[in-house]
Structure 1
Amino acid sequence: MSKKLRRITCIDDDDDILRVAQLCLEHMGGYDVTCFDSPREALERVVCERPDFILLDVMMPEMDGLRTLDCLRAQVKLYEVPIAFMSARVRPEEIADYQARGANGVIAKPFDPARLSEQVSTIWSDFHIDRA
């Protein structure tokens, strides 16, 4: 049996997206959410946060999501943490590229705030079914 999803880390350079995601995930999903608007800060602190799940923007000016994903996956303590991208770039070939690079799911932007918790839960469940 997999552990329960409790802690989510969100990484996005858009403060409005972070606020909406945090509000939805905390109030609709009951999750404990930590947000970072800087991928570099997230990389410095995310291991200490011990997330169960990471939501990551693809297009960020400081460091793009694919590079951030590579850095997250290189950390042994995060290797088994599911990571999903949030992106407006969701053509089939882009999704295939994200998954080939190690993403466990993709949530299209703009996302539906009423469905965000459900989408995260589905990616979480699929991740653990694939590992069983």
Structure 2
Amino acid sequence: MAKILVVDDEKLLVKGMKFNLENEGYEVECAYDGAAAVELARTRAFDLLILDVMMPEVDGLEACMRIREFSNVPIIMLTAKSEDADKLMGFECGADDYLTKPF
């Protein structure tokens, strides 16, 4: 079973994503800031990370760069920012894909 880490500071959104992904048969863990995402990615094995860009503590872009220092797990950046420049920044930080809210 594929294991996914969902990271967003909007707890209701995380709850909804977790519910839907688990209904599709995925195992889902959740975190609510970038620092927690980095720590979980370092200590546990995931098949996919879904990271929000705008979060407290460590933002998603910084978390993505830190995770890339030790892992090549696929990362999808999740954000309300939809400008091409924002997408390019996500890819430059190591993201594999970019999904804009609302989805």
TM-score when scaled to structure 1? Answer: 0.72
One-letter amino acid of the structure 2 residue matched with residue 84 of structure 1: I
Other-structure match for 1:94: 86
Residue segments in structure 2 that go unaligned for 5+ positions in a row: none
Instruction: Work out which of the residue numbers 43, 54, 62 in structure 2 matches 1:59.
Output: 54
Aligned identity (percent) is: 31
One-letter amino acid of the structure 2 residue matched with residue 99 of structure 1: F
Q: Which has more helix, going by share of residues?
A: 1
Residue 110 in 1 paired to residue 102 in 2?
yes
Quick check: which has more Rg, 1 or 2? Answer: 1
Residue 24 in 1 paired to residue 16 in 2?
no
Q: Distance in 1 between matches of 2:102 and 2:79?
A: 8
Instruction: Work out which of the residue numbers 84, 88, 109 in structure 1 matches 2:76.
Output: 84
Instruction: Work out which of the residue numbers 6, 11, 24 in structure 2 matches 1:15.
Output: 11
Shift of residue 49, structure 1, vs aligned partner: 2.5
Residue 74 in 1 paired to residue 66 in 2?
no
- Aligned residues: CA RMSD: 1.4
Q: Secondary structure at the match of 1:106?
A: strand
Residue 36 in 1 paired to residue 31 in 2?
yes
- Aligned residue pair count: 103
TM-score when scaled to structure 2? Answer: 0.91
One-letter amino acid of the structure 2 residue matched with residue 62 of structure 1: E
Q: Distance in 2 between matches of 1:103 and 1:66?
A: 8
String of CA shifts for 1:28-70, please: whole Å, max 9, x gaps: x211110011322222222332000000000012111111111
Q: Distance in 1 between matches of 2:93 and 2:36?
A: 22
One-letter amino acid of the structure 1 residue matched with residue 101 of structure 2: K
Q: Which has more strand, going by share of residues?
A: 2
Q: Distance in 2 between matches of 1:25 and 1:6?
A: 10
One-letter amino acid of the structure 2 residue matched with residue 46 of structure 1: A
Other-structure match for 2:2: 6
Q: Distance in 1 between matches of 2:15 and 2:66?
A: 24
